[in-house]
Amino acid sequence: MRRTATTARLSFPAHLSLRSFSAGESIAICHRSPVGLLVQNKKERTKMRTKSIVRWLSLIGAASCWFGCFATVFTVDQATGNDDAARQDMSRKTAFQTIQAAVDLAVNGDSIMVRPGDYIGRSEDESVVSVNSAVTLEATSSDPTLTRICGQSVRRCVKCSSGGAIVKGFTLCEGYGAGGGFYAGGNFSDGATLVDCVVTGCQGGTGPAINGGRALRCRIVENIDGAVYGAILINCLISQTDVTGTT
């Protein structure tokens, strides 16, 4: 059946706008505005909402870019790095020799890329690496056995005091004490995250391999006096030769 468009004339008070509409058209009447927009149909309202959403997304994107553009990437190379020269190089192209020297300069959102090598602490250090900000500490090699942080059975390997910190791609070996391999304060809900790491040869204290935080795709093998305490483990392998404590 053929449909015929009809026009309805409506009477409105003087302060409202009046025009004709086709049957079935969705309308919205509004008071006269300073910009002269008096009547909006459904399509116009949708267009305005879309513009508003796009505007907000643009602002969010700009804010993300603002923070991302100011993040710094530090490099650590045990064989060729120089801590003093790297501190003075504001371009951050010079590699540090120790991980801790780079961590001390990093702030939330920064990344520290660590080249293969064996990294150990100084005699006065409680931990080889102490992380106090939400940074990403990552080995450049995909093989974690090539980049080792070793506690030498006298100190922790990595201690994290920031819940936003990420440690990825290392072998953490011969750590000593609670969380000798990886210590995140015994707080699994707010602790740091250990990713794609091997934790081995750690001993002493509660949870000598991992204490607190989260571990993802890690291998926790051949640790003494137990393994893990107060941590969330996701897709991890635990293999102990000596298990005497809480695991």
Task: Check pLDDT > 70 for residue 77.
Answer: yes
* 20-29, 122-131, 176-185: least confidently modelled range: 20-29
Say yes or no to pLDDT of 106 above 60. yes
pLDDT mean over 212-217 = 94
Per-residue pLDDT, 222: 92
Distances (CA, A) of 52 to 49, 65, 208, 228: 5, 20, 54, 50
Question: Average model confidence (pLDDT) for the chain?
Answer: 79
pTM: 0.70
